[in-house]
């Protein structure tokens, strides 16, 4: 028997994506040594933050923060209201059963206002330890796959990137999302068996 329940309904996670302009090409003589330089952040690098909510059946809701803005409890509460509407539209009956939200302890997630709003929704919060990407399905399952998809691609701008991310998230089969949830229970069990140590696989 599992030590924790296997009823997790959906996951929410913030993630930053970086868009860079094409670097200028350099010509080198064939005998020249190659340089392994790490690209330094510059004015042409922009970060775009996405909030992704999903469950074992697939994507429920994704939205992007306007560039330069940070998430606070007011913005997060508005996101939760949009998520609630998305659940009503995409997962009929889920709101009348128990919704379980995996949440870390980021300030917008654990503010008194956010907690009060979630209590009014009657959602159950399944907290996970801070700095534990090994126990967050978005971190160990979804975002690594998204990172592979984004690798090497060039986007014309923020709107192009948003469309690319949304298209990719919608293209995943339900089984791919289910696998991410199924991995959670063994990972938590492994963490408990190792007295809370980091779980890689």
Yes or no: say if 73 and 107 are a contact pair by the CB < 8 Å rule: yes
| Confidence class for position 169, pLDDT limits 50, 70, 90 | very high
Q: Which residues contact residue 59 at a Cβ distance below 8 angstroms, ignoring those fewer than 6 apart? A: 52, 53, 169, 170, 172, 177
Encode pLDDT of 55-74 as tens digits: 989 999 999 988 888 889 99
Residue 169, both tokens: 């998230």
Q: Number of folded domains in the chain?
A: 1
Beta bridge mates, 10: 101
Q: Report if residue 39 sits inside a domain.
A: no
Looking at residue 159, its pLDDT comes to 92
Say which CATH number the domain at 89 has. 3.30.420.10
Q: Report if residue 130 sits inside a domain.
A: yes
Structural domain boundaries, residue 113: 10-19+44-193
Looking at residue 8, its pLDDT comes to 38
Looking at residue 166, its pLDDT comes to 95
Looking at residue 113, its pLDDT comes to 96
Beta bridge mates, 58: 55
Alpha carbons 123 and 81: distance in angstroms, whole number: 12
Could you give the C-alpha distances from 101 to 73, 80, 104, 121, in angstroms and in order? 16, 11, 10, 11
Q: Report if residue 114 sits inside a domain.
A: yes
Alpha carbons 17 and 28: distance in angstroms, whole number: 31
Q: Report if residue 198 sits inside a domain.
A: no
- Quickly list DSSP for 80-120: HHHHHHHHHHHSTTTTTS--EEEE---HHHHSHHHHHHHHH
Q: Report if residue 68 sits inside a domain.
A: yes
Kindly tell me if the per-residue pLDDT of 23 is higher than 60.
no
Average pLDDT in the 72-98 region? 92
Kindly tell me if the per-residue pLDDT of 83 is higher than 90.
yes
Alpha carbons 54 and 76: distance in angstroms, whole number: 16
Could you give the C-alpha distances from 29 to 34, 38, 71, 78, 157, in angstroms and in order? 10, 21, 48, 56, 34
Q: Report if residue 63 sits inside a domain.
A: yes
Yes or no: say if 109 and 76 are a contact pair by the CB < 8 Å rule: yes
Tell me how many helices (H) and strands (E) the chain has: 8, 5
Q: Report if residue 37 sits inside a domain.
A: no
Encode pLDDT of 109-163 as tens digits: 889 999 999 999 999 888 776 667 677 788 888 888 998 998 888 888 889 999 9
Looking at residue 25, its pLDDT comes to 34
Q: Report if residue 79 sits inside a domain.
A: yes
Looking at residue 33, its pLDDT comes to 54
Yes or no: say if 103 and 126 are a contact pair by the CB < 8 Å rule: yes
Looking at residue 191, its pLDDT comes to 76
């Amino acid at each position: 028997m599992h030590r924790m329940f296997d009823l997790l309904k959906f996951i929410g996670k913030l993630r930053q994506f970086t868009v860079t302009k094409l670097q200028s090409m350099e010509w080198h003589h064939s005998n020249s040594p190659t340089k392994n330089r790490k690209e330094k952040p510059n004015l042409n690098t922009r970060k775009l933050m996405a909030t992704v909510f999903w469950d074992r059946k697939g994507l429920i809701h994704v939205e992007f923060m306007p560039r330069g803005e940070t998430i606070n409890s007011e913005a997060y509460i508005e996101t939760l209201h949009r998520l609630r509407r998305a659940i009503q539209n995409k997962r009929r009956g889920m709101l009348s059963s128990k919704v379980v939200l995996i949440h870390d302890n980021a300030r917008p997630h654990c503010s008194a206002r956010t907690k009060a709003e979630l209590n009014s929704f009657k959602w159950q919060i399944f907290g996970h330890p801070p700095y534990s990407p090994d126990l967050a399905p978005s971190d160990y399952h979804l975002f690594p796959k998204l990172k592979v998809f984004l690798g090497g691609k060039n986007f014309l701008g923020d709107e192009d990137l948003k469309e690319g991310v949304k298209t990719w998230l919608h293209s995943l089969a339900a089984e791919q999302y289910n696998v991410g949830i199924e991995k959670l229970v063994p990972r938590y069990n492994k963490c408990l068996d190792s007295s809370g140590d980091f779980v890689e696989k």
